[in-house]
Structure 1
């Protein structure tokens, strides 16, 4: 097992992931961002809305629970691949007709909220294993290689390369 990152390293990593992803989408035109076909019917905008949904549902709720000294209850939307796929389809349908400005604004606000919570939590809170998080610490959980941002960034990069 690799050594856990520090809080400072976690914050730098999260800023870097966001900055890197934000730079990728900033280099695209509005038309490109809204064009379906990145994977299936999804556009880049749909990927952004998807990332925002999961960051809000999971990460923000987990960080709020830690700050409040309570447990996080998994809503079960990732319990099986079938449930996860159904949830992702519902999120897609709920967001596909939203304006790009609205989707980007929520993406940026969510990132800001995540960073504010991470900055408020102590190193000890970030390094405490939580049973309701499968025994993981927040630092370990968020340091997972090939995480969510990278997965969706790769979809976009593969689409751009075609």
Structure 2
């Protein structure tokens, strides 16, 4: 399996998640508090904003897999914002809601949510991860395997944001 192929099994998925998490943790460890809370990107986001964003989206998948609540509620979004399908709009709302959270609380939340993701995935089978999104949150009609959403809000998401956070730091 090359790094660009999607995992086919839970074991492969967990390996990729672990690799992505390790890369994220290595990146975070290389930064000072000032680097995480001071400089911003063109949208006004700090590294801290990116980190809580990752936690919120990963938590939404945990809630989805556990069937705890509609995903939009886990994201803290109203129905109109969620149904807009406009991720920039959704992310702006999330950033505004979470912006005041102190860095230590953000880092704690990120770690807690990630552990919850691992704990949620552990009892799942390969077959569970191939079930459609709609099996976890009806009446949604998405029919791709739920694994795709797990990938999108774990290691793939981590990698994407590491690049953006690095750009904040390096200017």
- Fold similarity call, TM over 0.5: yes
Distance 1:122 1:81, change over 3 A: closer
TM-score when normalising by structure 1: 0.80
1:139 maps onto 2:141 in alignment: no
Does residue 109 (structure 1) correspond to residue 116 (structure 2)? The answer is no
- The answer as to 2:48 corresponding to 1:45 is yes
Structure 2, unmatched stretches of 5+, are: 73-78, 135-139
The alpha-carbon deviation at position 122 of structure 1 amounts to 1.6
1:25-64 paired onto structure 2 within 5 Å: 25-57=28-60, 59-64=61-66
> Does 2:15 align with 1:12?
yes
Residue deviations 1:22-48, cap 9 Å, x none? 111110001101113134211100001
Instruction: Deviation per CA, 1:84-105: give whole Å up to 9, x if none.
Output: 3333222222222211110100
* Aligned-residue RMSD, C-alpha: 2.5
Distance 1:53 1:4 in 2: 23
4+ residue runs over 4 A deviation: none
State how many pairs are aligned: 153
Q: Structure 1 residues 3 and 36 mapped into 2: Cα distance closer, same or farther (>3 Å)?
A: closer
Contact 1:63 1:117 in 2 (8 A): yes
Segments of 5+ residues of structure 1 without an aligned counterpart are none
CA 134–29 in structure 1, closer or farther in 2 if over 3 Å, else same: same
Checking the alignment, whether the CA contact within 8 Å between 2:39 and 2:169 is kept in structure 1 is no
Query: Aligned equivalents of 1:17 and 1:81: distance in 2?
Result: 26
Using the size of structure 2 for normalisation, the TM-score is 0.76
Measured at CA, do residues 103 and 26 of structure 1 come closer, stay the same or move farther in structure 2, by a change above 3 Å?
Answer: same
Query: Match of 2:160?
Result: 151
